[in-house]
Amino acid sequence: MIESDLFALVTENICEVLPDLKNHNFQYSDRLVDLGANSVDRAEIVARTMEALSLKIPRVELFGVKNIGELTQLLYQKLQS
């Protein structure tokens, strides 16, 4: 999987959790909180994405991720290791 495919997966999961964003033009710099995702929404988006990738990452490793691009890059790095 290449990084752009992973970004598409993340945005797909965002749209499943927040259906009002289906027509949003996602950017790597988009922050989930700015898109209207509360803490439960954010946790669900991350959980769905990790499940789809068969990844198990301690939540503490996700602390400090600021936007969708950083989340995508972190997950991509975990897939590569």
What would the mean pLDDT of 69-81 be, rounded to a whole number? 95
Domain that holds residue 63: 3-80
User: CATH number, domain at 23?
Assistant: 1.10.1200.10
The total domain count for the chain is 1
Query: For residue range 12-23, what is the model confidence (pLDDT) as tens digits?
Result: 999 999 999 999
Angle of CA points 25, 44, 11, to nearest 5°:
20
Query: For residue range 13-58, what is the model confidence (pLDDT) as tens digits?
Result: 999 999 999 999 999 999 999 999 999 999 999 999 999 999 999 9
| pLDDT for res 56 | 94
| Predicted model pTM | 0.94
Q: Are 62 and 47 in contact (CB under 8 A)?
A: no
3-state helix, strand, coil in the chain (%, to 5): 60, 0, 40
